Structure 1
Amino acid sequence: MITSPPPLTLFGALRWDVVRRHLPGPGARVLEIGCGQGAVAVRLSAAGYDYTGVELDRASAEVADARLAAAGLPGRVVHGAVESADLDGGFDVLCAFEVLEHLEDDAGTLAGWVRLLRPGGLVLVSTPAWQDRFGPMDTAVGHHRRYDPPHMRELLRGAGLADVGGQLYGMPLAYALETVRNRVAQRRLTGDGTTTAERTARSGRLFQPSSGATGAAITAATWPFRLAQRAFPRTGPALVAWGHRR
């Protein structure tokens, strides 16, 4: 593992602590849909995974690709839609972190993604949790919905996945983060004239730290909260879920 990977956001640090515990061993072929600016891409490639990322937002894709290159890592990033990315399939793991909530047809799109996995391959997704928490920030970043855990399990099974599971995370820090983000959105972002697609594109650029020092500070500051959320896997405003292709 490289010593200074790109910094994660506060939410990203909480999420990564959950996600990394569900990944298979190094060497697996990983496809990340909606890789953003590559903070996870660098971590996966550095850990020995055969990494491919796909990102719709050109600016974010260029940052992700540059970060992999700067670290001397072999992963690749494709700018564009999954459907036009010329992927050969047979992946061991398919990741989509904070993506499904942006899709109007989440069920149909997810079913199509699953076909890129080998039989038995793992789907690992994260989304905002609890539809009754839908707020100004969800609107501002182009979300169509949030997911109650039973809804997510039904979605994954409907896409052809078995051994479906999930874990809530973010207790207690993410509740405070959501409150702050909703206030920011209420004042600055919601109703700014952008389309849902434009709001989705910018979502991966909001709140992104850029310096190693900031990343180190976030890692240190979230340490007690990462421990706390491990103790309360059934509580939190965010969800990581998984299943295996039948």
Structure 2
Amino acid sequence: MPHPPLTPMARLRWDLVRRLLPAERSRVLEVGCGQGAVGVRLAERHVYTGVELDEASVGVARERMSQAGLSGRLIHGPVEDLADDEQFDLLCAFEVLEHIEDDTGALKSWLSRVQPGGKVLFSVPAWQSRFGPMDEAVGHFRRYSPDELTTVLHDAGVTDVRTQLYGMPLGYALEAVRNQIARRKAGIREDTVEDRTAKSGRLFQPSDLVGPVVMVGTWPFQQIQRAFPRTGTGLVAWGRVPA
């Protein structure tokens, strides 16, 4: 069965993320798994657990996991709903940290779930100077430079941190379009950051019919962005929890 469709930006991000995943079968925790498009891909090769605060998104993720015939576990709730002694080899959070006011505090809590010597893998929007209407509309507190994200991860206890930008050049065009849409809808925006965050994972999701078009259309841009690892609108970081 085909994978669940990814948005154009998520497709660009996955091109980088998939090459950073462990080669061996691992216990993987994804914080903020959304509608499960990435979760299904992770569950194909790993023992997967996803947690998500938005109930509607969890429902979609569970249906997708079932349709794929995979045994990935999906939990509607925070990381704290996991068993106290549950540990993972890899912690992932894609486009989540920017939604949390106390990002360092959240990271410290999540890292307690990673076994000593385990790995972490994150993505966030890049460059505070690019903070715009869409960031506001979906409940972002901030964007990050590579140095800023490295500092946050170090402060939380992550070592051997490395970063790479992605999204050159398509990410710039996608961001401009989304900011224009957000400007037009600013008058009907939800009041709270929590409301905006809850809906963020449901925005701009492609249909199953559009998914293959996105995959083909973004393929050349995946190749281009590999040549510009220090340029882009998105940022991926990875590191290790000390043994």
Q: TM-score range by the shorter chain?
A: over 0.9
Does residue 222 (structure 1) correspond to residue 218 (structure 2)? The answer is yes
Gaps of 5+ in 2: none
Distance in 1 (CA, whole Å) between partners of 2:86 and 2:227 is 37
Distance in 1 (CA, whole Å) between partners of 2:186 and 2:145 is 25
Does residue 239 (structure 1) correspond to residue 217 (structure 2)? The answer is no
How much does 1:190 deviate? Answer: 6.0
Q: CA RMSD in A?
A: 1.1
Q: Indicate the residue corresponding to 1:96 in structure 2.
A: 93
Does residue 154 (structure 1) correspond to residue 151 (structure 2)? The answer is yes
3-state SS of 2:232 partner: coil
Amino acid at match of 1:232: F
Match of 1:105 among 95, 102, 109: 102
Q: Indicate the residue corresponding to 2:28 in structure 1.
A: 30
Distance in 2 (CA, whole Å) between partners of 1:240 and 1:141 is 19
Q: What's the TM-score once normalised by structure 2's chain length?
A: 0.97
Distance in 1 (CA, whole Å) between partners of 2:84 and 2:133 is 36
The ranges of structure 1 where at least 4 consecutive aligned residues each deviate by more than 6 angstroms after the TM superposition are none
What CA deviation, in whole Å up to 9, does each residue of 1:182-231 have, x standing for no partner? Answer: 000011146624310000000000000121x3111100000000000001
Does residue 181 (structure 1) correspond to residue 193 (structure 2)? The answer is no
Match of 1:83 among 75, 80, 85: 80
Does residue 129 (structure 1) correspond to residue 130 (structure 2)? The answer is no
Q: Indicate the residue corresponding to 1:56 in structure 2.
A: 53
Does residue 199 (structure 1) correspond to residue 202 (structure 2)? The answer is no
Match of 1:67 among 43, 60, 64: 64
1:134 touches 1:145 (CA, 8 Å); kept in 2? yes
Does residue 141 (structure 1) correspond to residue 134 (structure 2)? The answer is no
1:136 touches 1:190 (CA, 8 Å); kept in 2? no
- How many residues are paired up? 242
How much does 1:87 deviate? Answer: 5.6
